[in-house]
Amino acid sequence: MKERPHNPLPGLGLTLGFTVCYLSVVVLLPVAALVLKSLDLSWGEFCDLAFNKRALAAYRLTFGASLAAALANALFGTLLAWVLVRYRFPGRRFIDALVDFPFALPTAVAGLTLGNLFSENGWLGQFLVPWGIQGAFTPLGVVIALTFVGLPFSVRTLQPVLQAFDRGVEEAAATLGAGRLRTFLTIIAPTLLPTILTGFALAFARAIGEYGSIVFISGNLPFETEIAPYLIVMRLEQYDYAGAMALAIVLMAVSFLLLITINWLERWSGHFERA
Amino acid sequence: MTGPPQHDDRRAASTRGTQEHPVIRWLLIGAAMLFAAVFLLLPLANVFWQAFSAGLASYWGTLADPDTRAAIRLTLLVAVITVPLNTAFGIAAAWALARFDFRGRTLILTFIDLPFSVSPVVTGLLLVLLFGAQGLVGPWLQAHDVRIIFAVPGMVLATLFVTFPFVARELIPDMQAQGSEQEQAALTLGASPWQTFWHVTLPSVKWGLLYGVILCNARAMGEFGAVSVVSGHIVGLTETLPLRVEKLYQELNPSAPFAVASLLALLALLTLLLKTFLEWKNRRGLERALTPAEPAQSVGLGSTGLLTAGERPSP
């Protein structure tokens, strides 16, 4: 942070006052409601509600599918970022602009169209389903939707770092006799790794809370294709506020841990960028 | 045969070292484009294909339906309320956090990022726990006959929460990158604080601001999870466009949900178009304003990645 010993600019009181008030009303008050309400739960009750069999199955799918989707994005997102930054080919700028499409598209529409694409009569499903690849109403469908949703995070995190990458280092390695594969494995990949991990963590964090796209592509069957956010909605519809709250606390705790990890990863990759 | 062989060797070595073999290059491009086709192009094309699969008449019939039109109106209403509020907040927060250093600044930055890491469904739950019949202030609200949950105010609050960080997250790094020298000069020359803000600060960050507003608007109109929990799904009254899509989908209508979805896909395309244009404008503006010695730095936790990634100018 820059040093600002004497700041002649006006308006700190007004803008900071408004910021803090608005923040408190819109964000902090609802969060405080959860904290206060959760005090009514005893530890035993909380564990029963948050870690019963149905909840555990929902976590397994949520975290498992999020992990698979984040991995797919780490792999293909890195490939896409690499191709978009390093190569010139027709349609490059169009695809580059389209990378943000999953971010701009409402999640309900994403789930709707992906579910249709991979269904038996869909454009992709008609080829995949005969091979036994069921993309709609299965755990695989959840992974597909989460991959779609997380795609911009991994590509857009990596792109600026790849653009700023000092190609002189690659030339030096080549001059010293390293082949292209060796240069990639020993020079490029290790430098990009912290950024790829940051993108992975961002995509993973985004996937855990995802609801809109999953509802349409997953069958939402308890123990099979039910994700944790969907179970929260189910509990709410049964007016089981304690049950919904317990699940929400677990999800928020995981998100918070991820936020700390991402913060740490960004500092690590920032360190690499500067070095 | 021609020229010294040594020279040829050196040239071959230098391209082998810094570029992939053409075959490998085209294989990589092919694989990346296949991935982009399956996850970006086909989902987009499929929305419009399915929307018109039952013919134009059916398409217009769905859009002209009074329930769909009510959903369009409510979606616009929610955006018209939430986007200006969060924009005003974003500008105030950016002024306080990018121009001043004080105790608790990092804490406020963390809190601004909070809505990004909360599941939309949990956002809805938070509001139910606060304003619902069994919520903290629910009984008081019922006694005074105020409905928030399962009504429009709840949907507005949910959208406010979900879109809360967008403008602020966009403006803070931009304003930090611009620095405050010009504002200080304007004040020294006798401009009033408001004049300084309108004529110096705002013009220099206008593209970044618009960019944040557009992202905020896209999310406000497209939000599903948080709004779904607090809406109560009353057809014609508390249904936004994304909720209308779900309703039509549940009615097992093959093309109608896609017809409504096509409106939202158009919104997404428009957002992308404006975003691409603004990014280009903003980069040019930043390049002009920045000295090479002072690159823009992203602030806070950067949990959005996407939002800050486009804004980090490469050194």
Q: What are the tens digits of pLDDT across the range B69-85?
A: 999 999 999 999 999 99
pLDDT reading at B117 higher than 90? no
CA distance B115 to B164: 7
Chain A: nearest CA to B287, how far in angstroms? 15
Q: What is the CA radius of gyration of chain B?
A: 25
Identify the weakest region by mean pLDDT among A4-8, B16-20, B56-60: A4-8
Is B222 in Cβ contact with A15 (below 8 Å)? no
Interface of A with B in 241-270 (CB under 8 A): 241, 244-245, 248, 251-252, 255-256, 258-259, 262-263, 266
pLDDT of residue B283: 75
CATH code linked to domain A60-225:
1.10.3720.10
Is B111 in Cβ contact with A23 (below 8 Å)? yes
Handedness of CA B104, B107, B108, B109 (dihedral sign): positive
Is A100 in Cβ contact with B121 (below 8 Å)? no
B92 closest CA partner among A26, A28, A1, A11: A11
Where does the pLDDT of residue A2 fall: very low under 50, low under 70, confident under 90, or very high at 90 and above? Answer: very low
pLDDT of residue B300: 36
pLDDT of residue A165: 86
pLDDT of residue A219: 86
A70 by DSSP, 3-state: which? helix
Is A233 in Cβ contact with B28 (below 8 Å)? no
**B126 vs A31, A89, A152: nearest CB:** A31
Where does the pLDDT of residue A262 fall: very low under 50, low under 70, confident under 90, or very high at 90 and above? Answer: confident
Whether A81 and A155 have beta carbons less than 8 Å apart is answered as yes
pLDDT reading at A218 higher than 50? yes
Whether B275 and A103 have beta carbons less than 8 Å apart is answered as no
**B43 vs A76, A148, A259: nearest CB:** A148
Mean pLDDT score across all residues of chain A: 91
What lies within 8 Å, CB to CB, of A41 at 6+ separation is: A49, A242, A245, A246
CATH code linked to domain B56-309:
1.10.3720.10
Is pTM beyond 0.80? Reply is yes
Tokens of A140: 């695989």
Q: Which residue has the higher pLDDT, A167 or B87?
A: B87
Reported as a single tens digit per residue, the pLDDT across B245-272 is: 999 999 988 899 999 999 999 999 999 9
Q: Which residue of A has its CA nearest to B218?
A: A104
pLDDT reading at A264 higher than 50? yes
pLDDT of residue B313: 36
Query: Domain coordinates of chain B in residue numbers?
Result: 1-51, 56-309
pLDDT reading at B211 higher than 50? yes
Where does the pLDDT of residue B15 fall: very low under 50, low under 70, confident under 90, or very high at 90 and above? Answer: low
CA distance A115 to B293: 50
pLDDT reading at A215 higher than 70? yes
Residues A138-165, mean pLDDT to the nearest whole number: 94
pLDDT reading at B307 higher than 90? no
Handedness of CA A125, A128, A131, A135 (dihedral sign): negative
Whether A37 and B127 have beta carbons less than 8 Å apart is answered as no
Which residues of B fall within a CB distance of 8 Å from A108? 222, 224, 242-243, 245-246, 261, 264
**B96 vs A12, A84, A215: nearest CB:** A12
Q: Hey, is the C-beta of A226 within 8 angstroms of any chain B C-beta?
A: no
